[in-house]
Copies of this chain bind each other. A is one copy, B any other.
Amino acid sequence: MTRAYNFSAGPATLPEPVLRQAQAEMLDWNGVGASIVELSHRGAEFMGVAAQAEADLRTLLSVPDDYAVLFLAGGATTQQALLALNFAAPGQTVDYVVTGHWGKTAIRQVRPYVDVHVAADGEPGGFRDIPPRQDWSLSADAAYVHITANETIHGVEFRDTPDVGTVPLFADFSSSIASAPLDVSRYGLIYAGAQKNLGPVGVSVVIVRRELLERAGQPRADIFNYASHAARDSMLNTPPTWNWYLLGLTVKWMLEQGGVEEFARRNAAKAALVYDAIDGSGGFYRNEVAVPVRSRMNIPFFLPDETLTTRFVAESKAAGLLALKGHKAVGGLRASLYNAMPVAGAQALVGFMRDFQQRHG
């Protein structure tokens, strides 16, 4: 068995020790005679796993006590719809700052329920920069302001938390949660699909200031009610237990590695390696995102033509560097460098990039 370096944007590479532990426990978790995936979510065994995962995630992200942490089935897209249902009155204004593909997706999910106001839009600039804060047209009476902390396709990332005054700031942190220190108290709500930095696909995390759960929102099924999930410790119905378990192992691994400060250091090092290789290629490789908002997690880059791009994808895969093809919305290439990607993976990538340029440049 040879493990490749997997640059997939998500589902994405996981820490090998996490996979090894899941493998070892697959038929018999902790000596109980059954796999964790076979145990009742209401039994003492899984309840312990779930509680430990929450405690560790609170430690990792320094989540204040007045925030609830929910572990929910479905991905970030489902949470995007639930934001409007839970926190905005029917037809109420909500402000969205659009800095890439996923900001647009977030809007699509809430249009049936609320009055969407695009407070700022990076699309006229090709999503190569984040519109400066002073140019945003925020609504005084918005239910919330929504941003996408990191855009996986366009490779644009908020490096700082914008000040939006007293309206709660909601943020999609699917692709950058736990990649660096974060002041949760600046946000009303943070949500993230787990399949990038937090572990496996199939579970999402919602971190929400508890007082916001008292909002009436809109008529909705109980299963769409964050307050109901919070009141039942995310056991309102059968949660995705195995996914939650693997998330817990991943979070524990991140704590053992040194926490978000250590990953911020590694992520900066990995991103610097790849951006330097791009910027130092004399134009052979291109990334057009404004330097101050370049994503540390997802680096889209482009070659002079389609033939070279196809060749790069094929040759890199043969060299054990997986999933470097860009998203179809923008084409080209993309390297995702989540927490579980070691610095050695980024080094292997830039080594390959230099070699590829020498052969084809």
Q: Interface of A with B (CB < 8 Å)?
A: 1-4, 6, 8-14, 16, 19-20, 22-23, 26-28, 32-35, 37-41, 43, 73-78, 80-81, 84, 108-110, 112-113, 193, 195, 200-203, 219-224, 236-243, 246, 320, 322-323
Whether A322 pairs with B223 at a CB distance below 8 angstroms is no
Whether A34 pairs with B10 at a CB distance below 8 angstroms is no
What's the Cα separation between A35 and B23 when bound, in Å?
Answer: 11
Distance in Å: Cβ of A153 to nearest Cβ of chain B: 12
What's the Cα separation between A13 and B320 when bound, in Å?
Answer: 37
Q: Within 8 Å CB of A202, what residues of B?
A: 73, 202-203, 239-243
Whether B6 pairs with A34 at a CB distance below 8 angstroms is yes
Distance in Å: Cβ of A87 to nearest Cβ of chain B: 14
Whether B201 pairs with A322 at a CB distance below 8 angstroms is no
Whether A238 pairs with B73 at a CB distance below 8 angstroms is no
What's the Cα separation between A35 and B224 when bound, in Å?
Answer: 32
Counting chain B CB atoms within 10 Å of each CB, the highest count among A2, A73, A200, A224 belongs to: A73
Whether B8 pairs with A40 at a CB distance below 8 angstroms is yes
Query: Known interface pairs A14-B38, A74-B74, A243-B243. Does A26 touch B26 (Cβ–Cβ under 8 Å)?
Result: yes
Whether A240 pairs with B109 at a CB distance below 8 angstroms is no
Q: Which 6 A-B pairs have the closest CB atoms?
A: A4-B33, A202-B240, A81-B221, A23-B26, A73-B74, A77-B237
Whether B40 pairs with A9 at a CB distance below 8 angstroms is yes
Q: Within 8 Å CB of A13, what residues of B?
A: 34, 38
What's the Cα separation between A36 and B236 when bound, in Å?
Answer: 29
Query: Known interface pairs A33-B4, A81-B224. Does A40 touch B11 (Cβ–Cβ under 8 Å)?
Result: yes
The listed residue (B2, B33, B108) touching A33 by CB distance below 8 A is: B2
Whether B37 pairs with A113 at a CB distance below 8 angstroms is no
